[in-house]
Amino acid sequence: MKATLINIGDELLIGQVVNTNASWMAEKLNDVNVEVERIVTVADNPREIIDALENELHFADVVILTGGLGPTKDDMTKQVLCRFFDAKMVVHQPTLKHVKHYFEMRGLPFSELNHHQADVPDCCTVLFNEVGTAPGMWFEKSGKIIVSLPGVPSEMMFLMTKYVLPQLEARHADVVILHHTILTQGIGESFLADLIADWENHLPDGFKLAYLPQAGLVRLRLTARGTEKMNLHKKMADELEKLSDLIQPYFVGESNDTLELIVNKLFTKNRLTLAVAESCSGGALAAKIVSVAGSSAYFKGGLVAYSNEIKESMLGVSKEILAQFGAVSQQTVEAMAKGCRERFGVDYAVATTGIAGPTGGSDEKPVGTVWIGVASPSGVTAQKYQLGNDRPKVIERTVNQLLGDLIKILNRDGKNNV
């Protein structure tokens, strides 16, 4: 099945917004065997939208449009589709009820414009948008599928995951696709590729490996396509076993789970508590932990100790340590982790201190120098890393490195009950 994505929005054409929807959608569609052949971005303009749709329907079996479904007059996708399908606009009652409720909940007045959010062309199947006000729409015409989704990433992702991907996958149920993701840390992409080159070159037919590097970690994604399910599962297990042996020292986890979700599961299942003391990561670590629902069950809180005074007054790091070794040192990070563990009264406490840049580096401690510390019932450990010289990346890598280290330490402590 071949697909085109049409992303609608002036904001994409003036460069105000980076098109992250396209890459997310392309990856997920690939997972269900739908090949994205073209991605087209056009303006919120009826002529442009129609031209793009007509043109792309020549090549593609599926065209997915995003954007232009808001309530304001620069959003015109719905009207364009209604005309394209020669349909009549009707009110979708469940959506109307939902939109009214949405406004009531927020104590907002419900205007005429908002009422139109519930209008849909009468020839479409509505994809009910629980997480926003613009409904998704599924059309079929001359054997082709046309789907229209809101451009807000969280709403698009919800509708893709709940409706579009399963329904597209069901259209070619004869092909079996398996995916398996392995999380590695502590080895760069090219070195990892060298390490497993021989294994990769001898993968069975229908198998494909993708390297998905993120700040400080590399995900390996093994995809297998075939027609016999049992056989494919067996082959997949064999290949994963060989791979696991090769990458053992860098292995962190075996799922598509994010690091923060793995941490969440480990702490929750093992009934442990966690607190964080952050300098260079400045709250990004706590924010990552808290982004997972249910984190309040194990996460007690954290301290962003961005200045030395705060490291002293609120974590009990001694003036002497700060004066003798500096804020970015093994001694300081260990004292931070220890102080954090005591003051928050938790089982595990982690700490970061480093130079995120762009200024503040020296020959001895260049930008990107980061110390990570972990205090646990079995003692305090610290590790130094060099994490590049780009401020946002240094922060992101610090967070990922710390979460990965924490998972390894929990595993070492026998807490691997996920």
Site for a copy of itself in 37-96 (CB under 8 A): 37-43, 48, 52, 55, 70-74
Please answer whether residues 204 and 239 qualify as being in contact, where contact means their C-beta atoms are separated by less than 8 angstroms: yes
In whole angstroms, how close is the CB of 414 to a copy of itself at the nearest point?
26
State the residue for tokens 């849909």.
120
**Is residue 325 involved in binding a copy of itself (CB under 8 A)?**
no
Could you write out the DSSP letters of every residue in 82-115? HHHTT--EEE-HHHHHHHHHHHHHTT----HHHH
Contact with a copy of itself (CB under 8 A) among 86, 106, 363, 414: 106
**Is residue 206 involved in binding a copy of itself (CB under 8 A)?**
no
In whole angstroms, how close is the CB of 375 to a copy of itself at the nearest point?
17
Which of the residues 233 through 272 are near a copy of itself (CB under 8 A)?
A: none
Decide whether 142 or 359 has the Cβ nearer to a copy of itself: 359
**Is residue 295 involved in binding a copy of itself (CB under 8 A)?**
yes
Nearest CA to 373 among 295, 283, 275?
Answer: 275
Angle between helices 330-344 and 308-315 (to 10 degrees): 40
Query: Could you tell me how many residues of this chain bind a copy of itself (CB under 8 A)?
Result: 107
CA distances from 186 to 200, 248, 373, 397 (A): 20, 11, 16, 11
**In this chain, which stretch among 60-68, 104-112, 244-252, 329-337 interacts with a copy of itself, using CB under 8 A?**
104-112
**Is residue 391 involved in binding a copy of itself (CB under 8 A)?**
yes
**Is residue 357 involved in binding a copy of itself (CB under 8 A)?**
yes
Structure tokens that stand for 198 in this block: 């021989």
Decide whether 123 or 225 has the Cβ nearer to a copy of itself: 225
**Is residue 299 involved in binding a copy of itself (CB under 8 A)?**
yes
Name the CA dihedral angle for 151, 256, 164, 114, rounded to a multiple of 10 degrees: -30
Nearest CA to 240 among 223, 225, 256, 257?
Answer: 223
Which of the residues 184 through 203 are near a copy of itself (CB under 8 A)?
A: 188-191, 193-194
Decide whether 303 or 382 has the Cβ nearer to a copy of itself: 303
Quote the DSSP letter at residue 161: I
Please answer whether residues 352 and 385 qualify as being in contact, where contact means their C-beta atoms are separated by less than 8 angstroms: no
Which of the residues 395 through 414 are near a copy of itself (CB under 8 A)?
A: 395
Which of the residues 330 through 349 are near a copy of itself (CB under 8 A)?
A: 343-345
**Is residue 140 involved in binding a copy of itself (CB under 8 A)?**
no
**Is residue 11 involved in binding a copy of itself (CB under 8 A)?**
yes
Q: How far is residue 231's CA from residue 243's CA, in Å, rounded to a whole number?
A: 19
**Is residue 176 involved in binding a copy of itself (CB under 8 A)?**
no
**Is residue 157 involved in binding a copy of itself (CB under 8 A)?**
no
**Is residue 294 involved in binding a copy of itself (CB under 8 A)?**
yes
In whole angstroms, how close is the CB of 146 to a copy of itself at the nearest point?
19
* Three-state SS at 255: coil
| Burial grade of 164 (CB within 10 A; 0-12, 13-18, 19 or more) | buried
Count of beta carbons in the 10 Å neighbourhood of residue 215: 17
Which of the residues 107 through 136 are near a copy of itself (CB under 8 A)?
A: 107-109, 111, 113-114, 131
